[in-house]
Structure 1
Amino acid sequence: MFSLQNKKAVVTGGGSGIGKAIASLFAKQGAEVHIVELTEESAKEAVAEISAAGGKVFSHACNVASQQEVLATFEKIGNINILINNAGIAHVGKVETTPEADFDRVMSVNVKGVYNCLYAAIPQLRLSGGGVILNMASIAVWVGLSDRFAYSTAKGAVMSMTLSVAKDYIGENIRCNSMSPARVHTPFVDGFIAKNYPDNQDEMFDKLSKSQPIGRMGKPEEVAALALFLCSDEAGFITGSDYPIDGGFIKLNS
């Protein structure tokens, strides 16, 4: 079960964190994995680890906010079976503390970047007779998160794009779903805490961990396992759905 033999998968933002975990697991399950990162250096560690484990992996330097770069990259990769739209950036701020430049930056990566990859991937999925798209949403589309105005706005757009693509291409054997993680322990989280709470890092890590009712942050490998299921043939009856993976955050927080 859950074999990805003879599948070709593109993972944007696959150089670290959740994207790296997905790329590693997909390669382990037999997929040919293409990591799309802003720079080759960003993907270097992931490529080395996956290759050392016997996986088939390639990396591509590409700014997902640039349609020209995205189209050229997907043309180079060729026909694919799976697209993981994982690349994204974060932002802290309410609407009145979000400068226009920051809002535009988040939209360019988290919304336009997803659109660009969808735009480029659909023709390549067609060449394979169909396939699967999995977009990375967030619990921010389900609940109000403090100081996450631009980020929440972008992730809401990602969920809407997921539904639209699922509807438009269901007749072409292209499935499209999304996942909505709560806080997952990645290098990004460690960097965020170090930058914003340098004097009480352990305290903040504990506080952020316990904001999930289950009492801890998620692991990238846990998100990757759900991604594997949703992109496998075993999930062939699933499209147009979002899957929270949140330690009970949405339903159990009071």
Structure 2
Amino acid sequence: MLLTAQRPVDFDDHPIVRKRYLVATPTIDLVTQRIVKQIRLRNPGAILYGYPRFGKTSSIRYVIHYLHETFPGAVCVNFRCETHKSGSEDSFLIALLTAVGHREPLAGKISRKRHRLLEHICVLADRSRKDWIVFFADEAQKLQVIEYEWLRDLHDALELKGIRMITILVGQPQLLDQKSALRKSMNTQIVLRFMVTEIRFGGIVSAEDVATCLAAYDESCYPPESAWTFTRFFYPRAFAAGMRLSTYAHALWKA
């Protein structure tokens, strides 16, 4: 019998082939625990910064998945910031309404959109039975000062409703420069709400980090309840003979 016929799913349906999988790196584990602490302390905002292509966007998906497991029902909103020549509150509200899952993000004037956004978030928070929500703003270095002000308005309106809005600004190191610029321009109301904590997102820096990543392939299974680890799926004969990717970490790092 062919090895492909023995696998539980077709080769092309595996998450690795489809690029729809996540494995924890030491950095992602550290970031996750920092964000969990942020939530437990109800700190309103943090900067998660790192260089491009380091996996920050993927880490958001991992963190959200972890938060849903750790805090069942938690409301986690992930929205991507876009470049605009000038701030448009209407476009900004549409993006937020879409991110929170509102069925009619385009309907109504700006004042009505503001009301529906606040109302919808309150409903989500009530269903979750929690007094907090988490916003992940991806590519946050693109945010303009006026957009921070709109986020601040939402933050303050939710605070009056008894809901803590915890915002994680995810972006490139220039976010730190923006924080300094906001301080110098006396926009401390933005800094104190959204930039209290700084979390650095680093890359793989040692053979031990490589081993941790490769071990995730040796241990993660698909389908989830099966015994088919990622490594076994792609190297069934070698896996049966005892091969594990993590044992090659030092050789790979050296190479």
Per the normalisation by structure 2, the TM-score is 0.33
Q: Greater RCO between the two (CA within 8 Å, min separation 6)?
A: 2
Per the normalisation by structure 1, the TM-score is 0.33
The structure that has the greater radius of gyration is 2
